[in-house]
Structure 1
Amino acid sequence: MSKQELPVADLNAVACCSPIAVRPMNAEQAAVVAPLFKALGDQVRLRLMSMIASVPEICVCDLTPAFDLSGPTISHHLKVLREAGLVDAERRGTWVWYRVKPEAFRQLGALLEISAAPAGSSAG
């Protein structure tokens, strides 16, 4: 069986970024991080991500019925999430199983950490 490799976002590039509350991103960092947020910026993909993240893994056969969309449309949204580096997928027989990539969310969470705000911020 041939396995098609999809391009995936470089999560190491996100890991190098300071929290945005500490230091503004440069153009290169923003270019790396933007596809992750763009992937989550669609309501269907955000719902899919929520469903995938709420369990250890989930079959596409359990995701598709939750939407009033065609199978190919759901597949497209899942592909966007995979290419952004937010989920992993594994084919088992005729079905594909999805699971969240925790390191992607840890890195996005660190990027959005607000408690790392620079000194001089007003406190109450």
Structure 2
Amino acid sequence: MGKASAITSDVIASGFHALSDPLRIQVIELLRSQELCVCELCDRLGVTQSKLSFHLKNLKEAELVRSRQEGRWIYYSLNLTQFLLLEEYLAEFRRFSPIIPARPC
């Protein structure tokens, strides 16, 4: 698997599973440009904190988001390193495609 060989199948599966839900994708999109607290995410997504907590737990377990506590609020941000691992994994398939040329390194 080249560079991606150090990436375990559990890490890959966890990452893609976390990205398989539309609400979790919306969370990722909101966190693209800035760190947000749970209350801001709830307001922007129109969901309850209990529903969002389940999805944030999935994203955290996949290490796609990070959290930090400030007072009584928890703030979330993207863990871009984990996204890079998933991207590297997918890029390995490009090597085998006769249709899509590999990107230069």
Q: TM-score, normalised by structure 2?
A: 0.79
Match of 1:121 in 2: 98
Match of 1:20 in 2: none
Residue type of the partner of 1:31?
Answer: D
CA distance in 2, matches of 1:32, 1:114: 16
CA distance in 1, matches of 2:72, 2:5: 35
Following TM superposition, the consecutive aligned residue runs of length 4 or more in structure 1 with deviations greater than 4 angstroms are: none
Residue type of the partner of 2:44?
Answer: A
Question: Which structure: larger Rg?
Answer: 1
Match of 1:11 in 2: none
Check the 8 A contact 1:82/1:88 in 2, yes or no: yes
Looking at secondary structure, tell me which structure has more helix per residue.
2
Check the 8 A contact 2:94/2:100 in 1, yes or no: no
Check the 8 A contact 1:58/1:98 in 2, yes or no: yes
CA distance in 1, matches of 2:100, 2:47: 47
Report percent identity of matched pairs: 29
User: Gapped runs of 5+ residues in structure 2?
Assistant: none
Give RMSD over aligned pairs.
2.4
CA distance in 1, matches of 2:79, 2:100: 35
Answer 1 or 2: higher relative contact order, Cα 8 Å, separation at least 6.
1
Is 1:100 aligned to residue 90 of structure 2? no
Please give the secondary structure, in 2, of the residue aligned with 1:113: helix
Please give the secondary structure, in 1, of the residue aligned with 2:91: coil
Please give the secondary structure, in 1, of the residue aligned with 2:67: strand
CA distance in 1, matches of 2:94, 2:75: 36
User: Gapped runs of 5+ residues in structure 1?
Assistant: 1-13, 18-28
1:1-124 map, 5 Å = 16-17=6-7, 29-55=8-34, 57-113=35-91, 116-118=94-96, 121-122=98-99
- CA drift of 1:68 comes to 3.0
